[in-house]
A and B are shown apart, each in its own frame.
Chain A
Amino acid sequence: MAFNFAPERPALNFGPRHHARWSSRQFLLWPAWAYRVVAPRVRQRKLNVLQRAIMGLCRAGVPRVDSIAEHLSVHTDLVAFILSELGGLGYLDQHGLPTEHGARVLEDDSFETQEMVAGYVFQDPWSGDLWPRFVESLDYCELEFNESGFPSVLLGTTGKPRRYRTFPVLPRARLSPSTPSAAAVVQAVAQHRKGLRFKDADDRDDETLGNFVASGVQISRVSFVEEEPQAVFLLTYLYVPESDAGATDWYACDPFGLGQSVRLRRRVEAVMHDVPGLFGVVNQLVGETLHAGYENQQRWLATIQLQAGLEIDRRLTVGFRTHRAFDQMLELEAARQEMRSLGRDCPERKINEVLRAGVKVLEAVFSSIAVTHPLGDIWKRVYVSRVDRRTGRQHLAQQQDRSVYAATYEGAFRSLGFAAPIPEAFLNVKPGQVRSVSEYRDSWRLRPLVTATALLAQRDPTHPLSRAAARSPDLIGAIDEIADAGGGAGHANADSVAPQLAEQHADKVYDVVSVLLDLDEARSDSPRESTGGSHEYE
């Protein structure tokens, strides 16, 4: 078995695609070890472990909260909550028995006889990591070599062939493959499924969420059809999208046809100095000395971070540096500084970044408040006691009557001193969401968090939210606007926002944080004067 990467090794074409029209591009043959494997076809379960257990008990004729709690050794409240959830999902009927749909879901989730699938996974020769991709067959592409041995890839149809010069990325060092673990193979299969769902989206989350493996997958069933991998090249290309503003940022295509790939771009950046010629290829692509550009970009980013930190110091005092929300605030301010620097060439995603960062800041601030003023069981204020007709036992259930829980919230906000009308979005928060943010500290959802905090603050005049409401009765409206803008920025069909509005949004976040943390004296309504930045928007 040949372990070296020579240009004559087979090249595979899984149809790399760009995310935007390109102005220039360069084909690459990216090296990989291809392992032929048989693995379970991974699917996402619909039920978590408790839901599955409770569904099973219900199917067995044990639909009572207390009995279930006893069997599973969990609290009755949790059982009641899950039963309510399962009912809401249509898996249980009014008698607590599985519906036809619920029975089918339970059956699908319970079977461990997963379908096996044969195919290939691909390993990065430098890091040994598997690509989060799985293919069932290898699609070879035709290469032509010129007299100097440089390959061109033959694309198009037989009647309309297109030849493109291609740069083979040949690792300088002689690399040996290391057989990936069964868990890594299953993970690659699972991530491929996820990748297909988020096709064409930025794939940066592949790495941050990279440890996901669907529960119930029998890793022991993974087997390698061939002991040794095959050295192959994956056809892909780097490209610079068309840009009226003359931007020369470059992108890399996912070799497996799922759009642009942040992973591959990072890999290119990581190895470009070790692969002879690759640096020149990228350099030529962007039409300038990338190395200088890269260093400049690093310097520029460092400057942005520095400026952002100083601006936060100025607006929220140096003391804020130790606050739990400082990182989020730094993210917001850095995005704003970048937006200013880019001026009229600022891409929409950067503006959206400012908007989304604002929500994260407030979530962090309210979460920090919850640390000093625990929300505890405040959620019970919007839960009601129910008696099981058959068992006679009591349990807590979500208040289903919207008018009742909305009135509870409104009463809390109004009694704190917030000005009417209270935004509808707060009054629509579901009791279950209030419970969720109360019980799980890492569950940061802004509106439920604020609502739960208000329910608590209503009982505690010394609570920071009580004092903030007294200082700024309009605060709740500002929070709602921030949440709205941040939510809109996360959706593909959202209208684009002008940079001026993003500026105002960021200022609003500062104002809200100042009020909440009682830093009013540090507030400034004129960020442009303070930073002295020379930016211009039209």
Chain B
Amino acid sequence: MSKARSVVDANGVRYELIELLGRGGQGAVYAVRGGRLAVKLVAGRSQRDRERMRNQLTHVRRLPVGELSLAKPLEMLRPPHTGYVMELLTGMVPIRTLLAPPKGETTGVEWYLRTGGLHRRLLVLARAAHTLAQLHGKGLAYSDPSPANIFISEDPAFAEVWFIDTDNLRYESSPGTFAGVYTPGYGAPELVQGKSGVTTLTDVHAFAVIAFQVLALAHPFIGDFVNEGEPELEEQAFAGMIPWVDDASDDRNRATFGVPRGWVLSTRLSDAFERTFGAGRVTPSERPGAAEWAERLFAAADATIPCPGCRGAFYFNQPRCTWCDAERPTFATAVFHLWDPNQGPAGGVLTKPQRGEARPVIVGHGAVTSTTSFIVTRRLAFDVQGPGADEPVVEASLSRDRVSLRSLDGRTYPLFSASGDRQTEVSDRQQTVRLVLGQASWRLHLGEMGRLHRLLSFELRPGRES
């Protein structure tokens, strides 16, 4: 790139470049004066490069991705510069900041928790998977998910996720047409081997690598065997020719480093990783899709509780905090079932047969402790995905054996006793329900009784279970 201090877009608007935000193989991104935009200057200044980029940007700008969390290209730059103007993501950093601590700081529990801990990691990954799922739902592949292209909130108290570098968005490509677009270490084996172009399945492979790194702080294909072997082994590993570190049937490439999987992976997440890096290594169609990743990651995040000692989140099915070994506090699980108005004469909880008996369908869960309230979001209450999914609907707080419920969205929700013969309602005035061990709790209906909707019940779980 020339020492440009300013660039001009196709409409003649001049942008003053004030700060280099990042530089990669494809070019460099600069913040521009004015605060809300960035400019990406792309390597390659020939007329052909410019034409190719112009066509691609024109194509991307026509794609139906307006509502997704993607930093979209806004306008091409005029020659002599090649690149485009895009939205600037303020208050965000690449997700690679969760992969390893900065130089000079050692990897450890303290850093892991300080950067948001397990709950935040699961949440940002779930949101990233959700964005990918929405993109895939439109038949589009992102092409190059990498730790530098996914941005998350800089503030660990927040978990916003945006994707940048969306100039590579495309409908699934054929082999060879765009074979070069992947970041080493994140390309799916079939892409690295040149057997396939970018697809939604290569996207989910790259995403799963990032997810494993974010959670376990280890690359799924760099175990001890690869780490200590010849450099060529790494190329082979990235090409899918060596088993992954937690392969269920081949322990050649085990990793003696990284966070113990039992601490950070739920059973369903472990299963998803095995399907991606085990069977999915050679058969891409075995990989879970982005929507399934989103569902499993959200469920995992909902299944954590904060430790009253170290404040780190851990799975509530663990008897002790995985980070500081403190005893698990008493808590209540919040379980979401489906209410089917056509079940029985007056409606009932939707069930499904399982091992010979009808069991209630569980569509979501959460947990409330005496120190942290549980916020029922629109995602949990109404299965809303995308914008507005995190808006609060109901707050539940626990005090000894009592759960207090309060509406946060201005609506009132009916609250029935387990037998259904007593009824009250939850509004912005708090209602308190007593929980008894081994007994079904009152149920909060999150919809009209005559329609299919979710209902919420609680179960008290003592800290130390016999």
A and B found bound together: yes
Cβ distance A107 to chain B, nearest Cβ, rounded Å: 31
Chain B CB within 8 A of A158 CB: yes
The segment out of B155-163, B270-278, B290-298, B349-357 that lies at the interface is B155-163
Pair B387/A144 contact, Cβ less than 8 Å: yes
- A157: nearest residue on chain B (CB-CB)? B91
Return the CB mask of A333-347 against B: 1 if under 8 Å, else 0. Answer: 000000000000000
Number of chain B interface residues as a range: 10 to 19
Please measure, in the bound complex, the distance between the C-alpha atom of A144 and the C-alpha atom of B378, giving whole angstroms.
15
Chain B CB within 8 A of A161 CB: yes
Selected from B158, B388, B391, the residue in CB contact (under 8 A) with A159 is: B158
Chain B CB within 8 A of A172 CB: no
Known A144-B387, A144-B388, A146-B388: A158·B158 in contact at CB below 8 Å: no
The segment out of B39-47, B146-154, B394-402 that lies at the interface is B146-154
Chain A CB within 8 A of B90 CB: yes
Pair A161/B388 contact, Cβ less than 8 Å: no
Pair B154/A159 contact, Cβ less than 8 Å: yes
Task: Please name all residues of chain A whose beta carbon is closer than 8 Å to the beta carbon of B88 when the two chains form the complex.
Answer: 158
Pair B91/A160 contact, Cβ less than 8 Å: yes
Main secondary structure of the interface of A (DSSP, over half): loop
Q: What is the number of contacts between chain A and chain B, taking CB atoms within 8 Å?
A: 37
Chain A CB within 8 A of B92 CB: yes
Please measure, in the bound complex, the distance between the C-alpha atom of A156 and the C-alpha atom of B152, giving whole angstroms.
14
Chain A CB within 8 A of B169 CB: no
Complex interface residues of chain A between 105 and 160 (CB less than 8 A to chain B):
144, 146, 156-160
Pair B388/A158 contact, Cβ less than 8 Å: no
Selected from A144, A157, A159, A161, the residue in CB contact (under 8 A) with B152 is: A159
- B71: nearest residue on chain A (CB-CB)? A158
Task: Please name all residues of chain B whose beta carbon is closer than 8 Å to the beta carbon of A159 when the two chains form the complex.
Answer: 89-93, 151-155, 158, 160
Cβ distance A88 to chain B, nearest Cβ, rounded Å: 43
Task: Please name all residues of chain B whose beta carbon is closer than 8 Å to the beta carbon of A161 when the two chains form the complex.
Answer: 158, 160
Pair B158/A160 contact, Cβ less than 8 Å: yes
Pair B388/A157 contact, Cβ less than 8 Å: no
Please measure, in the bound complex, the distance between the C-alpha atom of A163 and the C-alpha atom of B387, giving whole angstroms.
12
Pair B388/A160 contact, Cβ less than 8 Å: no
Task: Please name all residues of chain B whose beta carbon is closer than 8 Å to the beta carbon of A157 when the two chains form the complex.
Answer: 90-92
Pair B92/A158 contact, Cβ less than 8 Å: yes
Please measure, in the bound complex, the distance between the C-alpha atom of A156 and the C-alpha atom of B158, giving whole angstroms.
12
Selected from B91, B387, B391, the residue in CB contact (under 8 A) with A158 is: B91
Please measure, in the bound complex, the distance between the C-alpha atom of A158 and the C-alpha atom of B160, giving whole angstroms.
7
Task: Please name all residues of chain A whose beta carbon is closer than 8 Å to the beta carbon of B388 when the two chains form the complex.
Answer: 144, 146
Task: Please name all residues of chain A whose beta carbon is closer than 8 Å to the beta carbon of B154 when the two chains form the complex.
Answer: 159-160
Return the CB mask of B152-179 against A: 1 if under 8 Å, else 0. Answer: 1111001010100000000000000000
Please measure, in the bound complex, the distance between the C-alpha atom of A161 and the C-alpha atom of B388, giving whole angstroms.
12
Task: Please name all residues of chain B whose beta carbon is closer than 8 Å to the beta carbon of A146 when the two chains form the complex.
Answer: 388, 391
Cβ distance B22 to chain A, nearest Cβ, rounded Å: 15
Q: Which of A156, A157, A158 has the most CB of B within 10 A?
A: A158
Cβ distance A153 to chain B, nearest Cβ, rounded Å: 14
Pair A158/B155 contact, Cβ less than 8 Å: no
Pair B387/A160 contact, Cβ less than 8 Å: no
Please measure, in the bound complex, the distance between the C-alpha atom of A156 and the C-alpha atom of B154, giving whole angstroms.
13
Task: Please name all residues of chain A whose beta carbon is closer than 8 Å to the beta carbon of B158 when the two chains form the complex.
Answer: 159-161
Residues of A within 8 A of B (CB): 144, 146, 156-161, 163
Residues of B within 8 A of A (CB): 88-93, 151-155, 158, 160, 162, 387-388, 391
5 contacts across the A-B interface (CB closer than 8 A):
A158-B88, A158-B90, A158-B162, A159-B90, A159-B92
